[in-house]
Amino acid sequence: MLTVSLHGIQLYAPIGLYPQEHILGNTFLIDVDLWLPDTQPWPYADYTLIRSTVAEIFHKEAQLLETLVYNIHTALKIKFEFTQKIRVAVKKLHPPMPGEVAYAQVCYEM
């Protein structure tokens, strides 16, 4: 099995649960892994299509990281239907809460 990964996709978007997040926005890091079947010819996944798919989802209105992860996973499964498994992780950098927090993360793998 071949794994194709695109990690550290950085996007800025007005996404979050709290009203100020829709005004100020947040910075997100997204990691995507695609597990491709070991077939002939050798499997291939276009990195630019992965990134553009992720960016499309971030242009839609959302509040929860869970929604983003699910929507990205679903869109990638449609575009790369031959994949055996997809893992998507979305990190919100420095989420708005008391204290110093590097990031909040939600990950979905199936």
Mean pLDDT of the chain: 94
Tokens, residue 58: 């971030």
Query: What is the predicted pLDDT for the residue at 31?
Result: 98
Query: Binning pLDDT at 50, 70 and 90, where does residue 7 land?
Result: very high
pLDDT at 41 over 90: no
Check: pTM over 0.85? Answer yes or no: yes
Q: What is the DSSP string of 33-80?
A: EEEE---SSPP---HHHHHHHHHHHHTS----HHHHHHHHHHHHHHHT
- CATH code, domain carrying 82: 3.30.1130.10
Given a contact cutoff of 8 angstroms between Cβ atoms, the answer to whether 22 and 14 are in contact is yes
CA distance 102 to 91: 9
The domain tally of the chain equals: 1
Compute the average pLDDT of residues 74-85. Answer: 96
* pLDDT band, residue 69 (cuts 50/70/90): very high
Q: How many residues are there in the chain?
A: 110
